Amino acid sequence: MRSEMDVYVPRTLDEALQQKSAHPDAISLAGGTDVMVEINFGRLRPAGIIDLTRIPELREWRREDSHLFLGAGVTYSRIVRELADFVPLVQASRSVGSPQIRNRGTVGGNLGTASPAGDALPVLAAYDAEVVLQNRRGTRSLPWHTFLQGPKKTAMAPDELIRGTRWQVVNGPGSFSKIGTRNAMVIAVAGLCLQVDQDARQVRVALGSVGPTILRAPEAERFIAERLTWDDPGAPVTDEVVAEFAELVGRAAKPIDDVRGTARYRVHGCTVLAGRALRWALEERKAFKWL
């Protein structure tokens, strides 16, 4: 049924926050690449829409000391163009949908949808990012895993907006990779981000599309942190160690069968992606001075 719907077009963040608190049942709209699909298929009938695309504050990113702050409204296309230093984030952004989707879609929208298949999310998890929320009274920051509560469920209150996400800039190689039927327009069957944090002496691994929400692989992370010679990037790592690490990552996955793939194939996919991502990182670690 077509029903009348209010569309708010705030020009400033303040205006948006006011509207969100006055109309908590209105839905925020960034690129609309998730929202419009839901509306067009009749699965979503919001009382109103708050269009966030005209708010300059949401479209910025900046370095804050040793952190990076990424505004919720920065599109994937801009990330690819402007944030080349953040290799896994760029790789994930480049793998989203098609050029049209990347021109519209935002990381804030990816967080808002909170799909386990959101490609930016494993990267934020591997960065140990926090999500910055704001309402009329102020802001709060939640660790990514507190923000993401389950499939399509977040800790965001009805009067809040996602301001952006922030993480400590990591020193070390990393990558994002995914398995899907084709090279574009593909929702991942399995996605993985691996980030080496040379300073914290950690290897962080996050998985997408293989559980109700984004998963980290703590056992695998502990295992590999103990096996690496942190002061000597040239020290060899045996195939057995890589294989065991990959195996442990696979065990962290909790997938289900669905139309895109079977649970078995997804676990297997995580194992393959993990082994490859670790190999790439170790190679890169040798080639550059991260120390």
Partner 1 sequence: MAKTQADELAVVGKSLPKPDAMGKVSGQARFADDLMLPRMLFARILRSPLPHARIRQVDASRARAMPGVQAVLTGEDLPIKYGILPVSQDEEALCSEKVRYVGDPVAAVAATDEWIADAALEAIDVSFEALPSVMSIDEALAQPGEPIHPRGNVHKAVALEFGDTEEGLRSADHTREDVVFFEGNTHLPMEQHAAVAQYGQDGKLTVWSSTQTPHYVHRALGKVLELPMSRIRVIATPNGGGFGGKSDIFAHEIVAAKLAMVTGRPVKITLTREEVFYAHRGRHPVLMKVRTGFRRDGRITAMQFQSFLDGGGYGSYGVASTYYTGALQTATYAIPRYRFEGVRLFTNKPPCGPKRGHGTPQPRFALEVHLDKVADELGLDPVAIRRRNLVQPNSQTVNWLRITSCGLEACMDRVVADSRFLERRTAMPSGRGLGFAVSSYLSGAGTAIYWNDMPHSEVQVKVDRGGGVSVLCGAIDIGQGSDHILAAIVAEVLGVSLQDIQLTTADTDLTPIDLGSYSSRVTFMVGNAAIAAAQRVRQRLAEAAARMLHCESDELSFRGGQVGRRDHPGEAISFAQTVQAAEAGEGLISASGSYTPPKLAGPYKGSGVGPSPAYSFSAAVVEVECDPRTGEVRVPEVWIAHDIGRAINPVLVEGQVEGSVYMALGEALMEEQTFRIGVHKFPSMLEYKSPTTLEMPVVHTSLVESLDPEGPFGAKEAGQGPLLPVIPAIANAVYNALGVRIDEIPITPEKVLRALAQPSRRVGPKGVPRFAFPSPIQAARPPEWEGK
Ligand X SMILES: Cc1cc2nc3c(=O)[nH]c(=O)nc-3n(C[C@H](O)[C@H](O)[C@H](O)COP(=O)(O)OP(=O)(O)OC[C@H]3O[C@@H](n4cnc5c(N)ncnc54)[C@H](O)[C@@H]3O)c2cc1C
Applying the rule CB under 8 A, the residues between 11 and 50 that interact with partner 1 are 42
Measure the CA angle with vertex 197, ends 189 and 163; round to 5°: 70
Summarize as ranges the residues that interact with ligand X (CB under 6 A). 27-35, 37, 52, 58, 72, 96-97, 101, 104-106, 108-110, 112-113, 118-119, 161-162, 185, 187
For partner 1, the binding residue among 22, 157, 185, 287 (CB under 8 A) is 185
Q: Residue 71's closest CA among 123, 125, 108?
A: 108
Report the relative pairing of strands 48-51 and 26-29 from DSSP bridges.
parallel
Of the pair 156, 220, the CB lying nearest ligand X is at 156
Q: Return the half-sphere exposure (C-beta side, CA atoms, 13 A cut-off) of residue 110.
A: 36
User: What's the N-to-C CA distance of the chain in angstroms?
Assistant: 61
Instruction: Report how far residue 53's alpha carbon sits from residue 16's, in angstroms, rounded to the nearest whole number.
Output: 11
Q: How far is the CB of 229 from ligand X (least distance, A)?
A: 36
Out of ligand X, partner 1, none, what residue 208 binds, judged by CB under 5 to 8 A for its kind, is none
Q: Residue 197's closest CA among 261, 126, 130?
A: 126
262 makes contact with partner 1 (CB under 8 A): yes
Q: Count residues contacting partner 1 (CB under 8 A)?
A: 20
Out of partner 1, ligand X, none, what residue 181 binds, judged by CB under 5 to 8 A for its kind, is partner 1
For partner 1, the binding residue among 94, 136, 227, 260 (CB under 8 A) is 260
* Residue 51 backbone phi and psi in degrees, to 5: -85, 115
Q: Which residues of this protein are in contact with partner 1, per CB under 8 A? A: 1-2, 42, 98, 179, 181-187, 259-262, 265, 268-269, 272
